[in-house]
Amino acid sequence: MKLLRRGVVAVVISLSLSVQANPHSFTGTIDTPPVAVWVDSAGTTIAPFFATLVSMLYVDPSTGFVWTIQNVRSTTPSLIGYIGGRPDGDLGLLYSTTNCTGTAYLNASFWTIPHTVFASASDGQLYADGAPASATIHSRSVSGTCYVETVPGPVYLAIGPLTPPTLPAGPWHLEIR
């Protein structure tokens, strides 16, 4: 133990590791720490538990899309897009053309988890951000209206519109497993 300043103590721990002649001959066990998981009424593990300050999340194992869970205690849990749209502001669907046609892009979000599904201001459909893209944006679509303008900043390919996956019946609960 070493006193750094008045009231601040640093504890120094030294570890020693030994290397065996054959590093592939490990015979010990490595324990996986317990994690919180969603479990259905039959006791079947559905998915790992994730949450933000405002919502509980479901990560679809087949696509990697992050959905907001609602009605988790009912017999029919459902998935929706991120509550309240994107927290950094949804600019709608963006296009490199001046008439809102062609490949759709989304503004780069620095406040959401990658692949978070949300309802777009463009058409109310569900979208997620895909791979980063190099495009100069010349128009954006919001509520069915096309605005010709240059939108600065990085963009992502828009993936969607998406349909929520079918979920196991509820009610769900959390367990540590």
Q: Do you find a cis peptide bond into 161, omega within 30 degrees of 0?
A: yes
71: region left, alpha or beta (phi > 0 left; psi from -120 to 50 alpha): left
If you ran DSSP here, which 8-state letter would residue 116 be given?
B
In this prediction, residues 88-101 reach a mean pLDDT of: 82
pLDDT at 151: 80
Q: Which of 155, 107, 124, 128 is nearest to 63 (CA)?
A: 128
Answer yes or no: are the C-beta atoms of 151 and 140 closer than 8 Å: yes
| Residue range 53-69, pLDDT digits in tens | 667 888 888 888 888 88
Answer yes or no: are the C-beta atoms of 137 and 105 closer than 8 Å: yes
pLDDT at 148: 95
pLDDT at 111: 56
93: part of which helix (H) or strand (E)?
strand 93-95
pLDDT at 75: 77
For residue 89, pLDDT over 70 is answered with no
Q: Is the pTM of this model over 0.85?
A: no
Who's near 6: CB < 8 A, 6+ residues apart? none
pLDDT at 137: 92
Give 30's Cβ-side CA count (13 Å radius): 1
| Residue range 129-143, pLDDT digits in tens | 888 888 899 998 887
| Residue range 32-53, pLDDT digits in tens | 788 888 888 889 988 888 877 6
Q: Say which amino acid occupies 33.
A: P
